[in-house]
A and B are shown apart, each in its own frame.
Chain A
Amino acid sequence: MLDRREFLRKAGLGSMGIITLSSFDIPEMIRERELFCLTIAHTNDMHSHVDPFPPDHSKYPGMGGMARRLSLIRELRDKNPHLLLLDSGDIFQGTPYFNFYGGEVEFRLMSEMGYDCATMGNHDFDNGLEGFDKMLPYASFPFVTSNYDFSDTVLAGKTHRFKTFQRGPIKIGIFGIGIQLDGLVSKPLYGNTIHKEEVKTANEIALELKELDCDFIICLSHLGFSYSDGKISDQILARETKNIDLILGGHTHTFLDQPVAIGNLDDKPVIINQVGWAGLVVGKLDFYFDKSLKNKWCKQTATLPVKTVPKK
């Protein structure tokens, strides 16, 4: 298997840590072989933005809206029925829809869109664990909260350490890593929730998923993209773990122009993406799998660069 350094060399790592992939040949090879495309669509920090921003909004005039997102998702699903639709938390809080109905509208619309899985952000605790619990009947999708131990709370047994999904021939494992609640959320709201260390938990669960024969492992994270003070973030999580293929982040409301790739403990690339907030942007990631390529790698065509973040 190609290691990351070799990957970067082959890909032609330019200065500034930007990979420019150019002029690989044989796109026909893709066509000849039978490929499986897994499409992952995702959101984060929708913050109860059910309706689009008003037309006179200073930053995002007329943008967003869950009814439009439904059209977009239906379009994606028409193109590729093997779609996974995921959310990285902070579904709640930000518009009167939440103040009045406590998340009922958001969950009902997400269910209509066919979300497959989500994790909890700090604002999903805003009406307390009871407030979240009361809304669960409106959500047709599961929550993965791998590093929150809810066993001594009303949410005991109602969220999952991880979930696995089958899409075509591919088995996907999904788990969730949440942010430290202490100092961020009022203690009475999260009650007896125990927050477990992020990197250790992520490594444990990713390994468990690998041993369950998952082909692709996704971490839904509400840690934030990166911090200047070295606080745990998606970038650190990617670097300090193994077996994770993709981190879909949230919390910092980061509008990434494009996904980034970071080398993990095994020097294998981990893709990280985050799409701002308020349902303004939907991320869509297509992964093409090929069984015949076992133990091989193959030159393929690339059209645009991917930004990588240099290892510290």
Chain B
Amino acid sequence: MKDAISLLVLTIVLLASVGCANYKIIKFTGTNTSVSGEYKAHSDAEEITTMYRKAIDSVMNEQIGTTAHTLTKGNPEGRLGNFCSDAVFEQSLLWQKKNGMLEKVKLDFALLNNGGLRVPLDSGRITIGNIYELMPFENEIVFVEISGKQMNELMDYIHKRTTLSGRKSGVPVSKNFELQLDTINQLNYCQINDQQFDANQSYTIATSDYLANGGDQMAFFTNPIAITYTGIKIRDAFIESIRELGRKGQVVDAKLDGRIGYVR
């Protein structure tokens, strides 16, 4: 990037060889120029932007809570992924309660992807703006019911994304999903809500519509038994969870608890 930032001028001669019908190109120069402070903000653009910027800023600067630690992504687990997937699970339960859906759909756990969590949350005050940076996408929470066979594919996916060289992103899951990876024998030991995983059973997962549609190569979601759209934006779930802690006088204190780990 450093090189790209610096002004770079390139001149080459194409020797009349670029194909054009009637005219010959005899010379070509390429310059990739950084947009730096060297160029003044043009008032014609500022005039357009100001009104929008003011409206956004007034919303973004509101503090909604505080975090005890800097929350970052991690592999096999990270504080950021743990907090975010727990928040999605809790807010999903609340939504179910509100809509009388607790009996209808039994939610088992939540799963997100680290690629969708765009920045860490720095320790200290958390503003709405921070959450927009963390989750700029307009994705919503969906409940996806999948078979035991698809669950096995889900676990293999987590296994790969945790251990496979070049693909190690880690996969954020809520705390009621525990997975121990046996990397030598390529096996997964899984407990869901303190119950041994049962391949003959189906499971319902709260996730984002992006992933439910097979995003980030989550093919195990694409042919579900059932799918429920909640309309809750993932970002709003994060904001609500943080607000709720604030109302209780608590700070965000996401922990590493070994929900995904290795068999010793």
Chain A residues close to B by CB (< 8 Å) = 1-4, 7, 10-11, 19, 21, 24, 30, 35-36, 50-52, 59-60, 62-72, 74-75, 93-101, 104-105, 108-109, 112-113, 126-127, 169-170, 183-184, 186-188, 210, 213-216, 242-243, 245, 255-259, 261, 266, 268-269, 271, 273, 275-276, 279-291, 293-294, 296-306
Take A50-B49, A213-B21, A257-B3 as given contacts and tell me if A112 and B34 are in contact as well, using a CB distance cutoff of 8 Å: no
Q: Which residues of A contact B48 (CB under 8 A)?
A: 105, 108-109, 112
Q: Which residues of B contact A243 (CB under 8 A)?
A: 19
A218 CB, nearest partner CB in chain B, Å: 12
B99 at interface, CB cutoff 8 A:
no
Contact B32 A281 (CB under 8 A): yes
List the 4 shortest-distance A-B pairs measured between CB atoms, nearest first: A297-B16, A67-B41, A67-B45, A255-B4
Query: A63: which of B19, B36, B136 is its contact (CB, 8 Å)?
Result: B36
A247 CB, nearest partner CB in chain B, Å: 13
Contact A112 B24 (CB under 8 A): no
Contact B10 A105 (CB under 8 A): no
Contact A67 B23 (CB under 8 A): no
Contact B29 A285 (CB under 8 A): yes
Closest residue of B by beta carbon distance from A266: B19
Q: How far is the CA of A127 from the CA of B39 in the complex (A)?
A: 32
B201 at interface, CB cutoff 8 A:
no
B1 at interface, CB cutoff 8 A:
yes
Take A303-B11, A306-B10 as given contacts and tell me if A284 and B18 are in contact as well, using a CB distance cutoff of 8 Å: no
**A64, A99, A285, A294 — which one has the most chain B CB atoms within 10 A of its CB?**
A99
B13 at interface, CB cutoff 8 A:
yes
Contact A304 B20 (CB under 8 A): no
Q: How far is the CA of A255 from the CA of B16 in the complex (A)?
A: 28
Q: Which residues of A contact B25 (CB under 8 A)?
A: 216, 245, 287-290
B219 CB, nearest partner CB in chain A, Å: 9
B103 at interface, CB cutoff 8 A:
no
Contact A294 B32 (CB under 8 A): no
Contact B23 A290 (CB under 8 A): yes
**A113, A245, A281 — which one has the most chain B CB atoms within 10 A of its CB?**
A281
A277 CB, nearest partner CB in chain B, Å: 11
Contact B26 A289 (CB under 8 A): yes
Take A108-B48, A258-B30, A291-B23 as given contacts and tell me if A68 and B213 are in contact as well, using a CB distance cutoff of 8 Å: no
Query: B46: which of A67, A169, A291 is its contact (CB, 8 Å)?
Result: A67
Q: How far is the CA of A52 from the CA of B40 in the complex (A)?
A: 11
Q: Which residues of A contact B20 (CB under 8 A)?
A: 215-216, 245, 289
B8 CB, nearest partner CB in chain A, Å: 6
Q: Which residues of A contact B215 (CB under 8 A)?
A: 183-184, 186
Take A1-B17, A93-B136, A297-B17 as given contacts and tell me if A286 and B42 are in contact as well, using a CB distance cutoff of 8 Å: no
* 26 sampled A-B residue pairs with Cβ under 8 A: A2-B16, A4-B17, A51-B53, A62-B37, A67-B42, A68-B35, A69-B39, A70-B42, A70-B45, A71-B40, A93-B136, A96-B59, A100-B56, A108-B48, A109-B48, A112-B48, A186-B210, A186-B215, A214-B21, A216-B20, A285-B30, A286-B27, A289-B26, A293-B24, A297-B15, A305-B10
Please name 5 further chain A to chain B contacts, defined as beta carbons within 8 Å, in addition to the given A68-B36, A126-B138, A281-B33, sorted by A numbering.
Answer: A94-B136, A255-B1, A281-B4, A283-B33, A304-B12
Take A65-B41, A100-B55, A289-B25 as given contacts and tell me if A109 and B11 are in contact as well, using a CB distance cutoff of 8 Å: no
Q: Which residues of A contact B132 (CB under 8 A)?
A: 95-96, 99
Take A105-B49, A126-B138 as given contacts and tell me if A183 and B15 are in contact as well, using a CB distance cutoff of 8 Å: no
B261 at interface, CB cutoff 8 A:
no
Query: A245: which of B18, B27, B41 is its contact (CB, 8 Å)?
Result: B18
Query: B13: which of A24, A65, A275 is its contact (CB, 8 Å)?
Result: A24
Take A215-B21, A279-B35 as given contacts and tell me if A285 and B28 are in contact as well, using a CB distance cutoff of 8 Å: yes
The proximity string for B residues 131-157 relative to A, scoring 1 for CB distances below 8 Å and 0 otherwise, is 010001110000000000000000000
A287 CB, nearest partner CB in chain B, Å: 5
